[in-house]
Structure 1
Amino acid sequence: MIERCPRGHRSGGEERYFRSDIEGLRAVAVLLVVLDHAALGVPGGFVGVDVFFVISGFLITRQLQRERARTGRISLPRFYARRARRIIPAAALVVVVTTLASCIWLSPLRLQVIAREGIWAILSVINLVFAREATDYFHAGGAPSPFLHFWSLAVEEQVYLVWPVLIAVAVAAPVRLRALVRLRALARRRAADETGRAHPRTADRALLLVFLAVAASSFTLNVIVTGRSAPWAYFGGHTRIWEPAVGAVVAICGQGRGRPRPVLASLLTWVGLAGILTAALLLDGGVPYPGVAASLPVLATACVIAGGGAAATHGAGLVLDRAPLRLLGRLSYCWYLWHWPLLQIWAQAGDRPLSTAQRSAAAVASLLLAALTSRLVERPARSRPVLVRRPLLGLGFGASCVAAAGTTSILAAALVTVPAATVAAPARPLGSPAVAPTAAAESVLRAALVRLSAESGFDGVTAGPLTSLLRRALRVDRLPSDLTPTLDGARDDHQANRCLAMFAQTAPTGCVVGDPSGSRTVVLFGDSHASQWSAPLDAVGAQRHWRVVLFAKADCPPAPYPDYFEDALGRTYTECDTWRAAVLRKIVQLRPNLVVVGSQARAQVAGQGPAAMTGLMRDLRATGAGVAFLRDTPFPGFNVLDCLARHPSKISACAVSIAASRLTSAAREIDNRGARDGGALLIDPTGWLCTADGCPLVVGNTLVYRDWSHLSDTYARLLAPYLGPALAAALHSAPTLASARHVGDHIRPVEHESVR
């Protein structure tokens, strides 16, 4: 990950060529990263990556400066060949082994994704993929990629693609500028030697100004983007280039006469090392990062490097120069490459988090793999004389490694077999709808609403029309061959959610489904757990001639919770508040007959109590509309598709128990109580999804869920005959209810009703 310091020393007061303290500093950086990823007591160990970035910027800038001073120019082929020999062979080996290990131990469905990520990783663009996916609501929330750590390598390679060009242009600029103002003679005397090279001091000043400008602009961009979208700030090269630029500034300043005295330099190294460790211990995932917080480890690293380069005699080199740390520093790149795939594949293969002992064992095992890789791959590829002497051959060697790793990933994706991956068959109906009710039956239905308990607490799954079917589904072990949607297509089975507003959107679209010219207007309002009912509402609206207007936004609770934090953005979700206020104004204008509210039960806002939900329900009822609240659906909490793909002959092992489904969670109870106290009619879909024994993932030939928490559109649409009567009853009865009621399992599907 980091360019190695060249061997050799300079005498006198000049900066040393070989920096053994930087080897030790690399060891500190990789230890922090590994301990953080292995959850071994260093919550902010991710700052080790920032330390790497600064070291890298320092070493590579100094290396290019020496080449320019020695030869009068910077050879781009030689530079890129060095990078290729240094970075690509070990990275390609890790990509190949990780892909093959995923073939053996992970779900075939996961392998398809991992193989694609392996290609992006070896092509050094995976940081952009992760930045996009982290803010893609439909594809977020899965198991971490075993190639996630490659994002930092991708950032480095993107940065160093332009780094030597930037230096060459900055060095040439003084000469060109003087030529433009017709002061060629003076420029030659003051800024160029006989070969036309810029004078070292002039060139260094130009370089310093360039890298200061890069650092300042990138840091500003980093702070701005962190406040808007933390994933893009974290993974983006444009928001990270300031860190190696700080290292470049230290390298340039180290060539002058302004280096600190040894005593001050020693103090500087200790302060810097303390700053790095402080950042690693105090920062955690709750701090918006990188943002301003990243300045602590970056500037601290700059202090260690600057002080260590000024011949500090009693500085942090007393610790960093020790042989064990220097050995770890030499292995840091390979250890960084191996530790994360080992941790992730082990955990995902076992379907459970690793214990402390297992995480520690994985860290040690990855270090052993790093030692072997360094000895057999990294060092030979970097120092092979024929590759060193012939840059084009070195570039070709790197390209062949990329091709080998990419080919392995492509073959793995092409050859993997996903269970039940044939063309999806039509979904089997869940039951035969009953005949249209008589007037007396309709009267009984309305009376049942009034008699039902108003208690919002979970009192178990009662028997309903789908109970026997769900019980049979729990006993089925083999994945049906006519599964719909197929496992490899289920992630995209959310077309009815096409109107779901994404994170950045603040203006409600108000998509209309059902019967656009219907005489009754029904509004669906909430987050993605409300939007998952779009498909059955579309079907119900078309059948009953309701105009259904959809207002739903990704991870945006319908109730107004102050300072609601959005994990995907890494900040307060201000767009949610703006969007919600606009939707409420739209609802007032629409004057709907019924508003259906749905929401995921969120533990992070449970401590605020039911008041926000109660207030929302009262505001909606004040518009004159009836209000129905759809209780939250069971929450599997794991990737359903991966589990089924790994256990196609024992799918009952993937079924969700009632205890694990969050049906009894305090957050769900608070939402239900708030809706009830606000005068809403509660509709409970639990009996359409679970029995008292658990919640199946496949019913008939239909997948119930498409990810870790959302219903598939296909299964949700099958529930239209059960949802329709409940909503019709709410539409007819809600305005007359003095208090909220609870309806769900007792309502049987009907083909027609007089309540429209």
Structure 2
Amino acid sequence: MTVTSASPVRRDGRDESRRARTFRPEVQGLRALAVLMVVCYHVWLGRVSGGVDVFLMLSAFLLTGSFIRKLDRGRPLALGGYWVHLFKRLLPAAVTVIVLVMLATVLVLPRSAWSGVVEQSWASLSYVQNWLLASQAVDYYAAHDTASPLQHFWSLSIQGQVFILWPLLFLAGRALTAPIARRVRWVNHRTVMFGIFSLVFVASLLFSVVETATNQAFAYFDTRARLFEFAFGSLLALTIDRLVLPRRLRVLLGWAGVVAMLACGFVLTVDRAFPGVVALWPVLAAAAIVVAGRTGSPLGADRLLSCRPLVRLGDISYALYLVHWPALIVLTLVTGRTHPGPVTGALLVVGSAGLAWLITRYVERPIRTNAGLEAHRLRAAAVIVVCVALVATPLTLWQQRLDADRAAAAAAVGDGAHPGALVLADPTRSTPTGVEPVPAVSAIREEFAGLPHGCTEDLVDAALLATCSQLAEADADATASRTLYVVGDSHAEQWLPPVRAVAERNGWNVVSVLLGGCALAVTTGADACAEHNRRVLDTLTAVKPDAVVVVSTAASAEQAQDTVRPGFEDAVAALTDDGIEVVGLRDNPRFARDLTACAQKQGADDPDCNPARSTALTDTNPADAIADRIPAFHSLDLTDLICGPITCAPVQGNVRVFIDDNHVTATYAATMTEPFAQRLFAATRWAGA
């Protein structure tokens, strides 16, 4: 992570002497301490440290100090030159790491992760990674993906956005100063900027508290919920000259800040509690160190922070932050271990520091200190253009290749070479050999099923059907002969392809009301799932569809037995008592490992990728007992269309069966349409084709 000044660094005596006057070695050591916290917590503890929050505050502290000095001297803000200089400095190291990650992805990561890396490379390059991760953090399906080697760019994205916003605030502050000063004599640009940043601090902190309490996963990456940390750094920069404290107090303050910084990640679950008020902990700790400053005492924390090793580490802190996370992700994929041990972790940290030094020495510093680039803005802008092109060109070509692979795989769906589940429904049917399975591995994470207009709102009236109608577009005005609701979690959602296919050819309407990780049941809890299920049951009993399709059991990756969830039968009884039939589909097997990833790495025929069916589910469907007690409940078991008699294979009939360790691909589910229809009509005795 970077903290940057607005003033370019030139090789002339005037600028070097000015840098010497403004350079604070204890702040550079503070950067080093923060990046060490981030790296060590990630590598050995698997936790978040709060070190990123220190960087956010420091970046605003230094930026504000630079701009306020411009205002003090009456110099123009020159925002265009500032932004060109800034991104000319930031992009080379970032682009170097993105390119290295792209190469490592091709060499190490499974193909199923490629599309995600392409998406995150674009987001990292354009400084919107935090918004991408915010959307994925509240997406049940995306949240289960493998950790991305670029996800740490979220904080850099927030910084980049603030580096654009903050100068605009200074521009607005300068424009406001003169008219306000004419009315209030004691007002100057410092007081105006203090007022602006105070408003930002209060508004952002209040927003952060509310959003963290209601949607913490999104708030963690939300720029708006982080602005108060930057505003605090700006307020500190505006007031630090007035904070004159006794040396003994500053010594105590410095060490208190160091201890508080180091303790933050141990005491707080940063990834699940931040931002909100608790994010002030690392911010205040770092502020205490900055206020303590250079005490001149042999006992001061600044003596430690100003030591040469920490200052040198601070010099490469930006590059070290950039490289350590991709190195960690690649290492875990290669070794198969969640976290490296003490020795491997130490080698990883040393190797990351070495690579960071190389990037700083041979990429970042030569461009940053080049006098010719600083003297000509167009040359500096050309550096930015080249950096963008170095990532955008291969990404565009890669994206086109992935799109072509997906299109070819999609075109193959439904042909005779890809029968999928039909080979299990009819054992006499042969499967062509030498055929590439579908869907394309690069598109496997996009195989979660869905309907064009899924319902998640609490609509207990006829508007629900109007909003969520799934009737064929050409027959949108027709009256459905039957209405089915698909309700539950992602395991209910994955049956939408065959349900929709059967519905379309019979003139039925299908409505989906789904929430990831929330199976249908009657519960008394106060969590989001319990509340969602209460709304769903209220909606269903009010609308009274002809039937509800649900998943009736919950399989386990740890034991060969699925069970009926507590409260499920109560939900079924509530629906059937209102005259609504319920179709219960047995849960698909779940496994201890991702079978698709296993097949990519070891081959589809490897025994490790073909677990015995007996280790996934027993022969008895526990939901059948409910059908004996409730005649309007129809129990269906389609396990034999997912697994063979002996094993559960990652590929059946040249179609990939699983997305991950527990979800069926939409493509494979679609191949189950015919046997699904036969069993549905046999169980329900409905008329249909």
TM-score range, shorter chain: 0.7 to 0.9
Question: What aligned pairs does 1:580-619 form with structure 2 within 5 A after superposition?
Answer: 580-591=533-544, 594-598=547-551, 601=554, 610-619=565-574
Question: What aligned pairs does 1:14-163 form with structure 2 within 5 A after superposition?
Answer: 17-38=22-43, 40-41=44-45, 43-45=47-49, 47-70=50-73, 72-163=75-166
> What's the CA shift for 1:536?
1.9
Question: What aligned pairs does 1:33-432 form with structure 2 within 5 A after superposition?
Answer: 33-38=38-43, 40-41=44-45, 43-45=47-49, 47-70=50-73, 72-179=75-182, 202-256=188-242, 258-284=243-269, 287-308=272-293, 314-349=299-334, 353=338, 355-356=340-341, 357-414=343-400, 418=405, 421-422=408-409, 423-428=411-416, 429=419
Gaps of 5+ in 1: 9-14, 192-201, 434-463, 565-571, 733-752
More helix by share: 2
Residues in 1 aligned to 2:362 and 2:614: alpha-carbon distance in whole angstroms? 47
Q: Residues 247 and 547 of structure 1: is their aligned pair in 2 closer, same or farther, counting only changes over 3 Å? A: closer
Secondary structure (helix, strand or coil) at the match of 1:498 reads coil
Q: Residues 347 and 282 of structure 1: is their aligned pair in 2 closer, same or farther, counting only changes over 3 Å? A: same
> What's the CA shift for 1:333?
0.8
Q: Residues 705 and 384 of structure 1: is their aligned pair in 2 closer, same or farther, counting only changes over 3 Å? A: same
Question: What aligned pairs does 1:466-477 form with structure 2 within 5 A after superposition?
Answer: none
Residues in 1 aligned to 2:250 and 2:647: alpha-carbon distance in whole angstroms? 65
Residues in 2 aligned to 1:635 and 1:427: alpha-carbon distance in whole angstroms? 28
Q: Residues 255 and 643 of structure 1: is their aligned pair in 2 closer, same or farther, counting only changes over 3 Å? A: same
Matched, 1:529 2:491: yes
Matched, 1:2 2:7: no
Q: Which amino acid aligns with 1:331?
A: I
> What's the CA shift for 1:633?
1.0
Secondary structure (helix, strand or coil) at the match of 2:542 reads helix
Pick one of 630, 635, 648 that aligns with 2:590. 635
Residues in 2 aligned to 1:91 and 1:286: alpha-carbon distance in whole angstroms? 24
Q: Residues 468 and 247 of structure 1: is their aligned pair in 2 closer, same or farther, counting only changes over 3 Å? A: farther
Q: Deviations over 1:199-240 (max 9, x none)?
A: xxx222222111111111111222222234334322222221
Pick one of 625, 636, 648 that aligns with 1:683. 636
Residues in 2 aligned to 1:214 and 1:286: alpha-carbon distance in whole angstroms? 23
> What's the CA shift for 1:598?
1.5
Whether the aligned pair in 1 keeps the contact of 2:553 and 2:623 (CA below 8 Å) is no
Name the count of aligned residue pairs.
656
Q: Deviations over 1:292-342 (max 9, x none)?
A: 321211222222212226777744224323333222222211110111111
Q: Residues 706 and 590 of structure 1: is their aligned pair in 2 closer, same or farther, counting only changes over 3 Å? A: same
Whether the aligned pair in 1 keeps the contact of 2:449 and 2:665 (CA below 8 Å) is no
Question: What aligned pairs does 1:593-742 form with structure 2 within 5 A after superposition?
Answer: 594-598=547-551, 601=554, 610-636=565-591, 650=604, 652=606, 655-658=609-612, 663=617, 682-691=635-644, 693-707=646-660, 709-731=662-684
Q: Residues 754 and 620 of structure 1: is their aligned pair in 2 closer, same or farther, counting only changes over 3 Å? A: closer
Residues in 1 aligned to 2:259 and 2:580: alpha-carbon distance in whole angstroms? 61
Q: Which amino acid aligns with 1:104?
A: L
Residues in 1 aligned to 2:257 and 2:171: alpha-carbon distance in whole angstroms? 31
Secondary structure (helix, strand or coil) at the match of 1:597 reads strand
The aligned residue for residue 517 of structure 2 is: 555
Larger Rg: 1
Whether the aligned pair in 1 keeps the contact of 2:204 and 2:226 (CA below 8 Å) is yes
Q: Which amino acid aligns with 2:51?
A: G
Whether the aligned pair in 1 keeps the contact of 2:454 and 2:511 (CA below 8 Å) is no
Residues in 1 aligned to 2:629 and 2:74: alpha-carbon distance in whole angstroms? 79
Secondary structure (helix, strand or coil) at the match of 1:238 reads helix
Q: Deviations over 1:688-745 (max 9, x none)?
A: 211354312222132323455332333223323433454445436xxxxxxxxxxxxx
Q: Which amino acid aligns with 2:414?
A: P
Q: Normalization by structure 1: what TM-score?
A: 0.76
Q: Deviations over 1:266-308 (max 9, x none)?
A: 2222222222222211222673322232121122222221222
Q: Deviations over 1:478-526 (max 9, x none)?
A: 7723x44444455445565334446xx4447454568985666554321
The percent of aligned pairs where both chains have the same amino acid is 28
Secondary structure (helix, strand or coil) at the match of 1:300 reads helix
Q: Normalization by structure 2: what TM-score?
A: 0.83
Is the deviation greater in 404-413 or in 52-61? 404-413
Root-mean-square deviation (CA, aligned residues, Å) is: 4.0
Gaps of 5+ in 2: 14-19, 473-477
